[in-house]
Amino acid sequence: MHQTVKDMIINLVYLVENHGFVPNGGRVYYLRRSQPPFLIPMVYDYYEATGDISFVNEILPTLEKELNFWYENRQTNVSLVGEEVQVFRYYSASNVPRPESYREDMLLVQNVNDTTEKRKIWSNLASAAESGWDFSSRWFKDLHNLSTIDTSNVLPVDLNAFMCGNLNMLSFLFEKAGATSKAENYQQKFENFKRVFQKVFYVGKERGWYDYNLRNASHNIHFYPSMLTPLFTQCYHSLDVSTVEEMFEHMEKKGAFKYKGGVPSSLLTTDQQWDFPNGWSPSNHMVVEGLRKTDSPKLQQKAFEIAEKWVLSNYFVYTKTSNMWEKYNVNGSYPDAGSGGEYVVQSGFGWTNGAILDLLITYSDRMYFPQLNQVMAESKTIGEIQNQLDEIQSVDSMAQKQLDTKIFNNSGHSIVTNFKILALIFTISKIFLHFSF
Ligand SMILES: OC[C@H]1O[C@H](O[C@H]2O[C@H](CO)[C@@H](O)[C@H](O)[C@H]2O)[C@H](O)[C@@H](O)[C@@H]1O
């Protein structure tokens, strides 16, 4: 599996070498659209798993090249409280309908007469596709309609948090490769960018990091799980534990964590797939990981609870449909495959499997579901199932003992039996790329 991951990285490195960035897909028409910047984290994870520093050493110049693509092509200025700083945005160079969704993009502009305006809309559609969040109220002027798409004016929290984390990871990899001055240089950039990040995205009275809109010079203070990515990439320093806890409580009050099926992509209902009631694996995974990495025991416990919820509801839908899905409807008593957007929900699915397996591994000492199938068979709502399992867990005096039994070693656990086959593709799936989608 390590070799497969290495081969995938080699493919992406080839693309960066030949095209200057990682295109949104492996087709010629994607050459004006990037993927979100996940190559550096992929290499970082590969190094953590293998210690293969000679490979890392070989490709470090390519990683810098990809980082520079973002600096040269996706940076923009923003003036805030008397200081001009540079941050990142999604900004595709394409201004034509997406070839893979030509019909949809033509229909969207059917009432627009001005060609410049049409091109702006197509460019903003392609820019949103770069984010992976295609499409979401996050990118819409009116927060509801795709026709008001305005991606290039949105400075996204998650993209900037990823870039911030990438500086840190690059510094780490250079240090491991023995290139001390490069390592120091990136560490310095990381520290500087953390300050800029905080200044641009943190809104004190709303207790959190929010997307900033250049057009109206204000933050979008609606909840999106992308707000938690700075915890995931550790792009914060001035916040003490209680501030992070307050941030969580604030989102909790907004209702972000109350759904039994997982964390939704937003609390706004639109007909787009990256909005309520859909929950996506990468978002849920990053929320869990971000909270788990904080120094707050309370938030670490919340991370576990969200992870447990996500695993259980994915399994619930799996037992009902015999499939894993690219997204889920997290609302209501019976979670289901998600819907909305411009295509039929896809089964599979790389990042869903990857997230589930990572959560099962991370919490292998705690995620224990006694009598799972029996409880499920009684066809309870997901809330009742969760409550009943909690009760069984707390009264089952054997449960503590069984915590020692690693979930992957215990073939008696049906959830593991069903997910076991997916373990084979864990490492690949963890990588959020979809070249063959
Ligand atoms: O063909 C439609 C779109 O397909 C890709 O995006 C879809 O898959 C992504 C990964 O699973 C997902 O993040 C996105 O929300 C989906 O729409 C492709 O990245 C898009 O460029 C393309 O328009």
% of the chain at pLDDT higher than 70? 90
316-339 average pLDDT score: 95
308-334 average pLDDT score: 95
Per-residue pLDDT at 30: 96
Segment 222-250, tens digit of pLDDT: 999 999 999 999 999 756 889 999 999 99
By most ligand atoms within 8 Å of CB, the mutation choice from 286, 434, 435 for ligand 1 is 434
Shortest-distance atom of ligand 1 to CA 33: 21
Q: Where is pLDDT greater, at 48 or 237?
A: 48
Per-residue pLDDT at 81: 77
Nearest to 222 by CA among 159, 270, 290, 168: 270
Segment 269-291, tens digit of pLDDT: 999 999 999 999 999 999 999 99
Gap between the Cα atoms of 197 and 10, Å rounded: 31
Per-residue pLDDT at 350: 93
DSSP class per residue in 105-169: HHHHTTT---HHHHHHHHHHHHHHHHHT--S-GGGBTTSS-GGGB-GGGEE-HHHHHHHHHHHHH
Per-residue pLDDT at 270: 97
Distance, CA 387 to ligand 1 centroid (Å)? Answer: 36
352-377 average pLDDT score: 92
Per-residue pLDDT at 402: 53
Distance, CA 189 to ligand 1 centroid (Å)? Answer: 31
Segment 382-424, tens digit of pLDDT: 999 988 988 887 776 455 555 444 444 443 344 444 443 344 3
435 pocket-lining for ligand 1 (C-beta < 6 Å): no
Per-residue pLDDT at 361: 95
Distance, CA 388 to ligand 1 centroid (Å)? Answer: 37
Say what the ipTM of the complex is: 0.93
Per-residue pLDDT at 415: 47
Gap between the Cα atoms of 257 and 261, Å rounded: 10
| Token pair listed for 383 | 């809330």
According to DSSP, the residues that pair with 213 across neighbouring strands are: 154, 218
Per-residue pLDDT at 394: 77
% of the chain at pLDDT higher than 90? 82
Mean residue pLDDT of the chain comes to: 91
Nearest to 299 by CA among 228, 197, 206: 228
Q: Does residue 208 carry a pLDDT above 60? A: yes
Segment 139-188, tens digit of pLDDT: 999 999 999 999 999 999 999 999 999 999 999 999 999 999 999 999 99
Shortest-distance atom of ligand 1 to CA 133: 15
100 pocket-lining for ligand 1 (C-beta < 6 Å): yes
Q: Are 161 and 227 in contact, with CB atoms under 8 Å apart?
A: no
Closest residue to atom 13 of ligand 1, CA basis: 132
**For strand 327-329 and strand 278-280, is the pairing parallel, antiparallel, or unpaired?**
antiparallel
Per-residue pLDDT at 414: 43
Per-residue pLDDT at 425: 42
129 pocket-lining for ligand 1 (C-beta < 6 Å): yes
Per-residue pLDDT at 409: 45
* CA torsion, ordered 6, 12, 13, 18, to nearest 10 deg: 150
Shortest-distance atom of ligand 1 to CA 274: 15
3-state secondary structure 196-264: HHHHHHEEHHHCEECCEECCCCEECCCCCHHHHHHHHCCCCCCCCHHHHHHHHHHHHHHCCCCCCCCCC
34 pocket-lining for ligand 1 (C-beta < 6 Å): no
